[in-house]
């Protein structure tokens, strides 16, 4: 890339001045691109993280001046017997969502992908739950989960001789009920992404496998799933990140009950801060969570480094 080569076509263009800077490797332009990035991150990401660290050592209600209180927020949060349970609940939700919620969209996608007629109808139907505003859906489902024999689901299951189930009203079925809802709400939109990814699977591979005598199941197992690996990897990452943020569902379905069975870490942080007005305890728990997630992400990195070939 020499200037002489460019010179001829360049003369007519207005961008000559910028080009020199560009050739020098960034300079002012890089700064201009960095400004919105740095501003947004400084205000809404780095700043709050640092402020969170500070707040976790303070007592403040935002009306009276803040006081330094040392480690007492941390000891208070760690002494709360509900913390262990909230952590276990969050992990339990992650596990249930992974075991039950995760495969369903894949199955759905593979099935729909095989349809040769009306597949857009199936697509649209599958996507419907994602269109419903989640909060509206939760209000509906809360009603469907009526634990009385006259409740929606209990009536329907009663027709085939099952139930009545307590759904949200028992410690051991509350979290599965929430996962069931979350699966319903998320399956369709995730499936659509898998369907699109499936269309990129090279069909020669299927033909080759078929010639080698591989049956339908073997083809799915040995060709379809490996070809989807990268998408599955991304979706799983997104789901894991989402799991730690689970809030809306327990907040609206159960408020964390019964007996803290659906209490999650985020719900706890929320309660500390916005119900109890104890911002110190809330940020202290946030800092602990951040430390934990830091460790987790290091572990995740090493595990997936080997698995993901990209």
Q: Please report, as residue ranges, which positions from 189 to 218 form the binding site for another protein (by CB under 8 A).
A: 189, 192-200, 203, 206-207, 210, 216
- Applying CB under 8 A, does 281 fall inside the site for another protein? yes
CB of 185 to another protein, least distance (A): 9
Of 223, 196, 191, 193, nearest to 101 by C-alpha is 191
CB of 100 to another protein, least distance (A): 15
Cα–Cα distance measured from residue 197 to residue 9, given in angstroms and rounded to the nearest whole number:
42
CB-CB contact of 207 with 54 (8 Å): no
Which residue is listed with tokens 């890339």? 1
| Closest CB to another protein among residues 62, 160 | 62
CB of 52 to another protein, least distance (A): 4
DSSP per-residue codes, 202-257: -HHHHHHHHHTT--HHHHIIIIIHHHTHHHHHHHHHHHHHHHHT--HHHHHHTTT-
Residues 90-129 that bind another protein (CB under 8 A): 108, 110-120, 122-129
CB-CB contact of 236 with 102 (8 Å): yes
8-state DSSP, 170: S
Rule CB under 8 A: choose which of 84, 99, 162, 290 binds another protein: 290
E strands along the chain, which residues?
Answer: 58-59, 67-68
**Three-class SS string for 42-75?**
HHHHHHHHHHHHHHCCEECCCCCCCEECCCHHHH
CB of 208 to another protein, least distance (A): 12
The pattern of x and - marking residues 150 through 179 that bind another protein according to CB under 8 A reads xxx--xx-------x-x-xxxx--------
CB of 96 to another protein, least distance (A): 18
Residues 222-241 that bind another protein (CB under 8 A): 223-224, 230-231, 233-234, 238, 241
Rule CB under 8 A: choose which of 4, 68, 136, 212 binds another protein: 136
| Closest CB to another protein among residues 96, 279 | 279
């Amino acid at each position: 890339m020499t200037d002489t080569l460019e010179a001829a076509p360049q003369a007519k263009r207005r961008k000559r001045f910028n080009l020199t800077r560009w050739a020098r490797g960034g300079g002012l332009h890089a700064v201009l691109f960095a400004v919105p990035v740095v501003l947004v991150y400084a205000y809404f990401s780095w700043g709050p993280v640092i402020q969170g660290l500070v707040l976790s050592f303070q007592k403040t209600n935002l009306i009276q001046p803040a006081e330094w209180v040392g480690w007492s927020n941390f000891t208070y949060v760690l002494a709360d017997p509900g913390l262990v349970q909230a952590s276990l609940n969050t992990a339990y939700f992650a596990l249930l969502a992974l075991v039950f919620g995760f495969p369903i969209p894949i199955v759905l996608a593979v099935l729909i992908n095989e349809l040769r007629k009306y597949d857009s109808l199936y697509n649209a139907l599958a996507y419907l739950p994602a269109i419903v505003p989640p909060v509206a859906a939760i209000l509906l489902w809360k009603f469907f989960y009526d634990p009385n024999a006259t409740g929606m689901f209990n009536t329907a299951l009663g027709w085939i001789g099952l139930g009545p189930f307590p759904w949200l009203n028992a410690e051991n079925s509350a979290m599965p009920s929430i996962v069931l809802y979350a699966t319903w709400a998320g399956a369709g939109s995730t499936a659509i992404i898998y369907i699109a990814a499936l269309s990129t699977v090279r069909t020669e591979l299927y033909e080759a496998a078929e010639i080698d005598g591989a049956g339908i199941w073997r083809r799915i197992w040995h060709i379809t799933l490996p070809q989807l690996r990268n998408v599955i990897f991304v979706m799983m990452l997104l789901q894991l990140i989402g799991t730690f943020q689970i809030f809306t569902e327990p907040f609206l379905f159960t408020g964390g009950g019964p007996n803290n069975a659906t209490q999650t870490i985020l719900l706890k942080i929320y309660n500390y801060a916005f119900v109890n007005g104890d911002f110190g305890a809330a940020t202290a728990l946030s800092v602990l969570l951040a430390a934990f997630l830091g460790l987790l992400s290091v572990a995740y990195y090493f595990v997936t480094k080997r698995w993901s070939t990209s």
